[in-house]
Amino acid sequence: MTAAASRVKILCVRPRLNPECASFLNALVDEWMHALALHCDVEMIEEDFDLIEVYERVKPDFLLFDSVHWGRNHRLNIANIDAYPELPRALLLNCDPHDPMRPLMMDSLSTYGIDTVFCTGIEGPQQMNELRRFDCFVVPKFIDPAVFRDYGEQRTIPVTITSAHLFPSFYPWRAQVTAEIQQVIPTLLYTHPGYSEGVVNPFEIRDESYARTLSRSQFCISDTTVLDYVVRKHLESPAAGSVLVAPESRALKDYGFVDLENCILGAPGSELYAKIWAVAANPEIYERIRANGHALVHRRYTRQAWTHILDWFACRRDLKPGQKVQQDGVFGRFRAVPDRGHVPAIARFDVWDNPMGVRLRAAREALLNDGDLKSAAEGLNECMTWIGHIAEPWFMLGLISFASGDFETAAQLVAKRSAAQSKAGASLGLLDPCEIAWLLLLGWWLGDRDLVAQVNEAAAATAHVSIRRVQWLIDGAATIEDLAAAGLDGPRPGDCLSIHWLGDEDFDSWTGLILRGRAAREQATAQAA
């Protein structure tokens, strides 16, 4: 946005706060709004409202919806949501990629008429296949340069590792480095202070005190998780004047991090520690790497530089007939391009599978193509050791149980994510569309009337191809002359989106999976008799 441009007005719709969530987590999410407010007029609304009434008062240029997540887990009811259909509506997908509330967020896309999604990292489209059907752009994380800056502190801490022992299976690179590096280089290990609200931790450091600790450190260790995505520490450490040490990472490359140019990258082990020693022993090389890392973050990834959503809106506002908005690569600028054929939302970018995606895709292929279910299950079970609230493997394990004829276990596993959501304090209880479909089918085949009644209510309010298929099956599986007309061939405009990796497969593949499960069940029943 140029200085001469008029200030854009954004109405930001935010779910209500979860009082059980640690306040500092919500403060981190609030930073996105603070960044926007530097460049435009932001009106935030966090209670149920009437769109016509609020629009007439605010006169926004577009609506921006904040994600439903653990910190803000109560989605708003909006009267007259269908008013002003020409008003652009976008979602800022800034939640944890494993948050149990994600089905609420995905349901918002159709409920609120959202057509554009801004993901704060590639993990959004990696985790949720169905997002790829939208104009889904990728924008970077950022830092507040007033907090994360070089304080000129004497660098008395050789190496700092924050949250050193947290979730070692999810942060395996950091876990190994933590165990090894302190044997060869003096290392400060800072234990994670926890996420509980109302618990006083006398050792907790945050904000400037945390940034000053980074500034006193020569090197800071930061993992990209087993799924290889960037976290705030990757930007905070170099911004505060330390040298970032991290794994070789495709995600870090997108941010511009290059080994021995502005950071140190490598696999854990003696070679990495020797590299750190060598850099530390040469003040000229150390200072060059440190200064380059600091400059990279402060040049590209600050609140002041974070104008991506406004740049998108400016481009969209000036579109001519027959044009659409396209992002020029990950984190790139927005431009108008001819809307002909299948024009990707992001140029020169293909979503690649992260390690969990590899296992989910393998399970999908095994289920749909009569593959090795035991091997697929082993891969999914490995994912479950990483972190407690990863949900997609539970669902896929449920479908493996279904294909093996164990319907009772299948029902338990398919429902497991929604059960976790309820335990997290969300009275909303929204099931994912694919969970609805499979629980409806399993309840029907198991003769579980209570489950069928419960899920039928959810199915009546949810549009998704997997639900339409199951309802068609329960209604008698009449001969279909036109799959498209019946809504059974694939997604329809306005369908809800699922977080899961199985649910929008072609009709023949779905039918094959149904027959496979029924045959396995019949065989198991015959053997038991």
Q: Are residues 326 and 407 in the same domain?
A: no
Residues with Cβ within 8 Å of 146's Cβ and at least 6 positions away in sequence, in order, are none
Q: How many domains does the chain have?
A: 3
- Top-confidence residue, 10 or 341: 10
Residue 92 inside a domain? The answer is yes
Q: Are residues 512 and 377 in the same domain?
A: yes
Residue 149 inside a domain? The answer is no
d(CA 335, CA 320): 12
Contact between residue 411 and residue 122 where contact means Cβ atoms under 8 Å apart: no
- Top-confidence residue, 205 or 90: 90
Residue 148 inside a domain? The answer is no
Q: How many CB atoms lie within 10 A of CB 169?
A: 13
Residue 462 inside a domain? The answer is yes
What pLDDT score was predicted for residue 1?
A: 45
Question: What would the mean pLDDT of 432-438 be, rounded to a whole number?
Answer: 95
Q: Are residues 321 and 390 in the same domain?
A: no
Contact between residue 187 and residue 161 where contact means Cβ atoms under 8 Å apart: yes
- Top-confidence residue, 294 or 132: 294
Q: Are residues 373 and 412 in the same domain?
A: yes
Lowest mean pLDDT among 82-91, 188-197, 239-248, 256-265: 188-197
Q: Are residues 278 and 394 in the same domain?
A: no
CATH number of the domain within which 231 lies: 3.40.50.2000
Q: Are residues 205 and 239 in the same domain?
A: yes
Beta bridge partners of 44: 12
Q: How confident is the model at residue 430 (pLDDT cuts 50, 70, 90)?
A: confident
Handedness of CA 268, 226, 203, 144 (dihedral sign): positive
- DSSP symbols for 202-213: TT---HHHHHHH
How confident is the model over 109-148, as pLDDT tens digits? 989 999 999 999 888 888 888 888 889 999 999 999 999 9
Q: Are residues 312 and 458 in the same domain?
A: no
Is residue 281 over pLDDT 70? yes
How confident is the model over 376-403, as pLDDT tens digits? 999 999 999 998 878 899 999 999 999 9
Count how many Cα atoms sit within 13 Å of the Cα of residue 485 in the half-sphere of its side chain. Answer: 4
Question: What would the mean pLDDT of 266-295 be, rounded to a whole number?
Answer: 98
Question: What would the mean pLDDT of 257-272 be, rounded to a whole number?
Answer: 98
Q: Are residues 73 and 29 in the same domain?
A: yes
Range of the domain at 315: 9-139+306-338
Residue 529 inside a domain? The answer is no
Residue 152 inside a domain? The answer is no
Residues with Cβ within 8 Å of 463's Cβ and at least 6 positions away in sequence, in order, are 110, 433, 492, 494, 495, 496
What pLDDT score was predicted for residue 423?
A: 52
Residue 528 inside a domain? The answer is no
Q: Are residues 83 and 104 in the same domain?
A: yes
pTM of the model: 0.92
Q: Are residues 324 and 234 in the same domain?
A: no
Q: How confident is the model at residue 426 (pLDDT cuts 50, 70, 90)?
A: very low
**Residue 323: helix, strand or coil by DSSP?**
strand
Q: How many CB atoms lie within 10 A of CB 359?
A: 24
Q: Are residues 295 and 322 in the same domain?
A: no
Tokens representing 95 are 């939640």
Residue 3 inside a domain? The answer is no
Q: Are residues 134 and 163 in the same domain?
A: no
